[in-house]
Structures are given as C-alpha cells and as structure tokens.
C-alpha cells in the first residue's frame, strides 16, 4: 500500500474529523494544522511495527445546503 486516504469532515463547531477509508484509523483536530499533525501521529502509531504508506491523502468532504427562496 503506497497511500492512505482519509475522508475529512468539518464539524459544526469548526473542528475536523478524519477517518481512513482502508484502515481502522480515526482522529480529529480543532484546526486544519492540528488535524494534519494528528493524522500523521495516528498513522505512525497504527504502523508502529510495520512499514507505513509513503503518502497520506486528506480528502475534505463539504456538504452545503442552499435555499432557493
């Protein structure tokens, strides 16, 4: 596996949640920078005894509802 993909959602309070699509890795952060660091730490901890993927992709999911009237 050369890349891990995380689905990122922004919470109502402004923080972010990250869930890996292929491994049981989940983390969160109050800011984008904090989230990035927490994802790196979570991946390092998950792969502590085996080689980690070369890259991590953060895929931000944005759900926006617009009123037409």
> 68 lies in a domain?
no
Indicate the number of domains in the chain: 1
Q: Are 25 and 42 in contact (CB under 8 A)?
A: yes
Q: What pairs with residue 9 in β-bridges?
A: 17, 61
Mean pLDDT of 2-22: 95
Task: Tell the burial category of 63 from Cβ atoms under 10 Å away from its Cβ (0-12, 13-18, 19+).
Answer: exposed
Q: Is residue 69 part of a domain?
A: no
Q: Is the pLDDT of residue 1 over 80?
A: no
Residue at 41 is within a domain: yes
13-65 per-position pLDDT tens digit: 889 999 999 999 999 999 999 999 999 999 999 999 999 999 999 999 987 78
| Containing structural domain, residue 28 | 3-61
């Amino acid at each position: 596996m050369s890349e891990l993909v995380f689905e990122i959602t922004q919470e109502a309070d402004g923080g972010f949640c990250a869930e890996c699509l292929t491994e049981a890795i989940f983390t969160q952060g109050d800011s984008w920078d904090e989230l990035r660091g927490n994802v790196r730490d979570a991946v390092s901890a998950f792969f502590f005894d085996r080689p980690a993927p070369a890259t991590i992709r953060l895929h931000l999911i944005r759900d926006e509802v617009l009123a037409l009237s």
